[in-house]
Amino acid sequence: MVRLGHPASAGLGLCAPAHGEAQVGIDFGLAHWANLDEGHQIENPRWLREALPRLADLQRQRARKKRGSHRYRQLSQRIVRLYQRIADRRRDFLHRQTSALVQRCALIATEALAPKNMSRSARGTAQAPGRRVRQKAGLNREILSAGFGMAHQMLGYKAAEAGTRLHLANTRQLKPSQRCSGCWQLVPKALAERMHACPHCGCTLPRDQNSARVVLYDAWTPHDTPGTGVAARPKPLSANAVKLRSKTRETPLQPERLSGGKVHN
């Protein structure tokens, strides 16, 4: 069994010293905006949710006015200002949090999130309608309001300016939410399970904290992760790249797949 832990020289040779020399793993979420590997949590402000009642009231008032009238334009401007205020508060929050992380850390590890894919609609089609469409719409609104994509962009350019190393783990390959940070075994969990309890090594942690530790450990060994040999690629494989079949399949690998379609003698 492989037991992972903080190596004595983990920070040596990984990146140039920034303002601080701390190393942190981050798991972004909705219940808490960020969960750090040592257990600290950054709360999610949820400014859009707080403003929804006021926003709905203004939109109802505007709906009762004649389109193009003076009162209609006034209400439209108030709605725009409310949206702008929400965006300004979100941007200010993200700037403060990302700057604080970069200033105190020499290594920041997190997942390479794709908010556009995470917030896809569940509506489906007329032939195959989706399920729980309204619930998914509310979840999508919270995902976009949290500003994960903007936070990743800010961390990227601020880390480059400060000399901080930013590691973005390949989520599909690493599976941080399903992997144990203690023994590196996969422990399948449903989304409703918020505690990680490993049956292999007995490690018990909050699910998000365990995920943050997994991405941090992956950042220390990006080319040969201990325990399974899983390596986090900085970029996904190209769509044109040849994907070899698994050796465990019964069908043998055809030589023409490797030679571009023809067998060369």
- So which residues are the catalytic ones? 27, 111, 208
Q: Taking Cα atoms as reference points, which of 123, 85, 110, 93 lies closest to residue 23? A: 110
